[in-house]
Amino acid sequence: MDYALALIGFALATSATPGPNTLMVTAAAAQFGLIRVLPHMLGITLGFPAMILALALGLGLPFAQFPWLHRAMQVAGGLWLLWFAWRIAMARPAGGAEARAPLGFWGAAGFQWVNPKAWMIALAALPAFTTPGLPVLPQALGVAGIFALVSMPCLLFWAWLGQSAGRLLGQGTRLRAFNIAMAALLVVSLLPLALG
């Protein structure tokens, strides 16, 4: 029971705190509303646990053998986040002709593989919440399942926050300032990657 509570606490702390996923969901919900951001949220909710399972089944072995590969993924993820921050900062109002659709299910699920925070969480969770000598797949399923259960409520909070901000700010310069602030926070979330 202590193990499960510790895992739930870890999943809540890592899923609810600001990071690339939560900031992108917040910005998208401010721009498009909660309903249009649901596929993005589902992509995170199912994509991250799938990543945990893939790593547990050995997909992480190349990263252990070739540390440069892990760093290359981090750099690629960082560059992608900078590009996405630019998109958020330059976003047009949702009703505008140049408005871009929010990230969809597959985009959000695939993004987990280049998200530096997702890698840090997965690489910390697997050794911390699995026991050597026991079959890894059932343990990894438990870890992935907890993250799947915890993720959506956390993302719903961030989407609600974004949607509320979008309603409060309207579609003019105040929403533009909010988008720029979200983009700046997304860039700041890369500091641990840049400094590590």
- In whole angstroms, what is the distance from residue 73 CA to residue 115 CA? 9
Question: Two tokens at 107?
Answer: 């985009």
Question: Two tokens at 117?
Answer: 């925070």
Decide: residue 110, CB within 10 A, 0-12 exposed, 13-18 middle, 19+ buried. Answer: middle
Domain assignments of the chain as residue spans, ordered by start: 2-195
Per-residue model confidence as pLDDT tens digits over 12-27: 999 998 888 998 999 8
What confidence category does residue 4 fall into, taking pLDDT thresholds of 50, 70 and 90? confident
**What does the DSSP 8-state code read for residue 172?**
S
Per-residue model confidence as pLDDT tens digits over 130-165: 888 888 889 999 999 999 999 999 999 999 999 998
> Please, are residues 23 and 119 in contact by the beta-carbon 8 Å criterion?
no
Per-residue model confidence as pLDDT tens digits over 85-103: 787 777 765 554 445 677 8
